[in-house]
Every structure is written in C-alpha cells, then in structure tokens.
Amino acid sequence: MFAVYADSFAPADADDPFSGLVIGERPDPVAPDGWTTVTVKAASLNHHDLWSLRGVGLREESLPMILGCDAAGLDEDGNEVVVHAVVSDPDWTGDETFDPRRSLLSEKHQGTFADRVVVPRRNVVPKPASMSFEEAACLPTAWLTAYRMLFTQGDLKAGDTVLVQGAGGGVATALIVLARAGGLRVLATSRDEAKRARALEIGAHEVYESGARLPVKVDAVMETVGRATWSHSIRSLRPGGAIVISGTTSGPKLDDAELTRIFFLQLRVIGSTMGTRGELASLVTMLDATGTRPLIDRAIPMTDAREGFAAMAAGDVFGKVVFTR
Ligand SMILES: NC(=O)c1ccc[n+]([C@@H]2O[C@H](COP(=O)([O-])OP(=O)(O)OC[C@H]3O[C@@H](n4cnc5c(N)ncnc54)[C@H](OP(=O)(O)O)[C@@H]3O)[C@@H](O)[C@H]2O)c1
C-alpha cells in the first residue's frame, strides 16, 4: 500500500532534515485480534512527525515506521470514524493518558500516513456527517490536547477568563477556538502582530504582545511555550488560579519559577498530555453541536507530503496541514 514513512534518522545538524523521509510503498497491515483496519481518507501533520524523523520518541529498531498520529477514515464496516492516537496496554483500565506503557501511533505501532492503519477497536470514535474527513483528521492530537487542557485539567466553565500564550501555535490556535466555543473570555498573546490579528479573527476577545501587563487577572493560563512565557503566566493569574502546561516550545528550564507567588497566591500548576477516547468523543460532539471547525492551513494530497513537512519546518503554517487520500 501507499505510505509515508521514516527509513532512517537525520542528524540534528543535517542539511536535509527530511533525508530519512520516504514516500513509497509498505506491506498491507494485518489487524491483530481485537484490532480493526481503518481506510484512511485524511490525516494531519504534527510537530511529532518532524521529531520522529530526527529519532525523537522513535527507536532505530522500530524503523521503517509509517509516520502520522492523526486520521479519519472508514472502518471495516464502512462507518466514518476518527482515530484516537493514544494506544494503551490492553489490560489498562481508566484514563489512558495515565498508562505508563501507552504510546502514540507512529511510535510503537505503524502510523496514519498510509492507505490503511490498524488500531485497537476501542480507538475509533464515530465521525459526524456534518464534519469532513479533513476536519475530523485535525482532532486527535493538537485539538484533543487543547480540549483536555481547558475543560478537564483546567476545569474551565462558561464565563471564566483564560489566557492563551503563543497564539500562533498549533495547540494555541485550537485553545483559542475551543475556549471561545465553550463560552470563555479569551485573552491571547503573541510576539507577532500578524498572528495577534489572526488570533482575534479566530475567536480571541483581546490580544497582547508577549509579556505585556494584562488589564485583568485570569482564572487560568494555557501554557505550551514554557521558559519564555512562564513568569508572565504566573503573574497573570488571580489568587487560586491554575496554569495548565502541555509543552515547552521555548525550553523547559526556567530563570525564575515564581515559587513565592505560587504558594502565596495558592496557584495550581497542572500538567496535561493528549486526552482520552472519551474526551475525543466529547470534542467531536462539541464541534458537531456548535458548528465550530478546526483551522486548516492547507489540504494537499498525501503524495505531496514533503511539501507539508517543509512548510511546518519553516514555521509557515497557521492551522493544520492535512493530507488527503
Ligand atoms: N502534551 C501533549 O499532549 C502535547 C500535544 C501536542 C503538542 N504538545 C507540545 O506543545 C508545544 C506546542 O506545540 P505546537 O505544535 O502548538 O507548537 P508550535 O506550533 O511550534 O507553536 C509554539 C508557539 O510558541 C510560541 N513561541 C515559541 N518560541 C517562543 C519564544 N521564544 N517566546 C515566546 N513565544 C514563543 C510561538 O508563538 P508566537 O509566535 O505566536 O509568539 C509559537 O507559535 C510543543 O512543545 C509540543 O511538544 C504537547
């Protein structure tokens, strides 16, 4: 079958970061007991796929590995489905994101950039007819991460005020759109004026330069930037507020962790990673019910995947890059 896969890893200083990327053919997958085969109609790209090509989160002995975490397609009975990318141990019960043996598709099990992908039966969620395959394929990683940050870990409710740092990011744009759809007051920061303007267009009520003093203290901050914005995030919270962190794009080491403020204002620091099958189903229902849709930067044939990888590596995207079959 057709597949986009990693055949080798590029060294960190390589001229061509995609030297290990192959657009070619791989054997048809065979579904083990309890698994199902999904015919992929659309899949979307994440930074995770770029890191996989450098060997981050992927072991050499797992190569060749079909890339891709996110997909929507048809199950064996022809039902339209969204694929949940978190594969947990078959014996695991409860929240899959707490399973220490969980993996994301394309880490241990072959990924979604192919004609077909096999996943545990419980890893498919019905796709509503109102949503295109391209839109549905955006949800399983960045959008699910944003949903869990806001509504599970952040426990935010309509009427609360939230700050989203680094408005141009993949997770950050999902946070802005979902927070607005969920009835929150949405403040966002970006270093870039054009990205601040786009943030307003997609649902932010107010935008500020990174690090600017805000006119109000917020109930929660959604952090994916890390070092560059941490101090500002802590200083923007009301007493008892929460910072929810799912990434550290600018680095994980802090100049000032603001520990005094954290204890004196009784702030809560909450980690968040991916989401459960149940949360993916709730996200799909939320989008179906509100008419809100993921932002798609471009949808291109999967045969042109190299173009999508290059655009993401250049930071030249606002929203998701989708590959169609
Ligand atoms: N835990 C999970 O399950 C999960 C899932 C998905 C992603 N992630 C993580 O979340 C993070 C964000 O991912 P993403 O795909 O959204 O990344 P991204 O698209 O590269 O966006 C990151 C944003 O961070 C901001 N930024 C970067 N460097 C900065 C700096 N020095 N100062 C201020 N802002 C800076 C930028 O915002 P502006 O240019 O607008 O200022 C940028 O748009 C990554 O670390 C990723 O690993 C985690």
Q: Work out the average pLDDT over 295-318.
A: 93
Nearest atom in ligand 1 to the alpha carbon of residue 272 is: 1
231 lines ligand 1 (CB under 6 A): no
pLDDT digits (tens, 9 = 90+) for 220-231: 999 999 999 999
Ligand 1 atom with the smallest distance to the CA of 170 is: 16
State pTM to two decimals: 0.95
Q: Which residues pair with 161 in a beta bridge?
A: 185
The CA distance from 124 to 266, in Å, is 40
Q: What is the pLDDT at residue 169?
A: 84
Ligand 1 atom closest to the CA of 46, numbered from 1: 15
Of residues 11, 20, 25, 14, the one with CA closest to residue 303? 25
Q: How far apart are CA 85 and CA 280, in angstroms?
A: 10
Task: Find residue 104's DSSP bridge partners.
Answer: 86
**Nearest protein Cα to ligand 1, atom 37:** 166
Amino acid identity for residue 120 in this structure: P
Which residue's CA is the closest to the ligand 1 atom numbered 43? 169
Among 46, 86, 249, which residue has the most ligand 1 atoms within 8 Å of its CB, making it the best to mutate?
Answer: 249
Read off the pLDDT of residues 136-151 as tens digits, 9 standing for 90 and up.
999 999 999 999 999 9
The answer to whether 249 and 179 have CB atoms below 8 angstroms apart is no
Pairing of strands 86-87, 161-164: unpaired
- Could you report the per-residue pLDDT of 165-214, keeping only the tens digit for each? 999 888 999 999 999 999 999 999 999 999 999 999 999 999 999 999 99
Q: How far is the CA of 206 from the centre of ligand 1 (A)?
A: 20
| Residue 269 Cβ < 6 Å to ligand 1 | no
State the Cα torsion 172-83-68-191 to the nearest 10°. Answer: 0
Would you say the CB of residue 110 lies under 6 angstroms from ligand 1?
Answer: no
